[in-house]
């Protein structure tokens, strides 16, 4: 599973907060004045959405509320870009709207799956060592892609395996434990 990009998360958040469940800039232009939370999230979404920024620039005279929100947010978070989001966000006050939005994004399903896979990987490596099971045996016996298994286990590339296949490997190794004990 690939991570949902932060801008995609913000897009879905904007839709949820919008009275009309939309990303249409003309509609959002009318809604932002009446909904403070929406205006906060829209301003962040615009900050990370290059396509919307270009549209906004073309129509800044007909979308003055959104243009002003974008300009204020851009100034407030000067120096921020997609490459430094994590370090930038963690330097902000815990009540900052960007930090709150990013922390909400990190609590999404993707991040909890990533944590599970990290724990399972550690258990798999421990059981592999205990039972002297090679990566070759794992991917051969379970009929899994050898490149993905090696990347997952050797290089800690968690995105290379699904949670389902990670659980299969762990189940396989746990079964070896039970065979040895029985």
As a whole number, mean pLDDT of residues 97-103 equals 92
pLDDT of the residue at 3: 44
Compute the chain's Rg from CA coordinates. 23
Q: CA 102, 108, 111, 112 torsion: positive or negative?
A: positive
pLDDT at 182 over 80: no
pLDDT, tens only, 2-61: 445 788 889 999 999 999 999 999 999 999 999 999 999 999 999 999 899 999 999 999
Least confident interval from 33-37, 105-109, 131-135, 144-148: 105-109
d(CA 53, CA 68): 12
Quote the tokens at residue 100. Answer: 């709150």
The contacts found for 37-40 with CB under 8 angstroms, 24 or more apart, are 38/14, 39/65, 39/69, 40/97
Burial class (CB in 10 A: 0-12, 13-18, 19+), 44: buried
How high is the mean pLDDT of the chain?
A: 91
The interaxial angle of helices 64-76 and 36-48, nearest 10 deg, is 70
Percent of the chain with pLDDT over 90: 75
Q: Confidence band (pLDDT; 50, 70, 90) for 123?
A: very high
pTM recorded for the entire structure: 0.64
Q: Are 45 and 14 in contact (CB under 8 A)?
A: yes
pLDDT at 77 over 70: yes
pLDDT at 150 over 50: yes
pLDDT of the residue at 2: 44
What's the CA angle centered on 71, arms 70 and 74, to 5 degrees?
A: 85
State how far the alpha carbon of 163 is from the alpha carbons of 10, 66, 149, 170, in Å.
Answer: 25, 40, 12, 11
């Amino acid at each position: 599973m690939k991570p949902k990009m932060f801008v995609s998360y913000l897009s879905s958040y904007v839709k949820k907060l919008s009275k009309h469940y939309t990303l249409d800039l003309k509609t959002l232009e009318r809604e932002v004045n009446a909904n403070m939370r929406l205006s906060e999230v829209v301003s962040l979404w615009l900050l990370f959405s290059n396509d919307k920024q270009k549209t906004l620039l073309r129509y800044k005279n007909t979308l003055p509320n959104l243009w002003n929100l974008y300009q204020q947010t851009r100034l407030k978070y000067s120096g921020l870009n997609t490459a430094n989001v994590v370090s930038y966000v963690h330097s902000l006050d815990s009540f900052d709207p960007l930090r709150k939005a990013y922390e909400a994004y990190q609590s999404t399903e993707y991040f909890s799956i990533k944590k599970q896979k990290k724990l399972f990987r550690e258990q798999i490596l421990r059981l592999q060592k205990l039972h002297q099971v090679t990566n070759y045996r794992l991917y051969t016996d379970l009929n899994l892609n050898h490149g993905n298994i090696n990347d997952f286990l050797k290089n800690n590339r968690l995105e290379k395996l699904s949670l389902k296949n990670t659980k299969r490997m762990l189940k396989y190794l746990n079964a070896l434990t039970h065979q040895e004990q029985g």
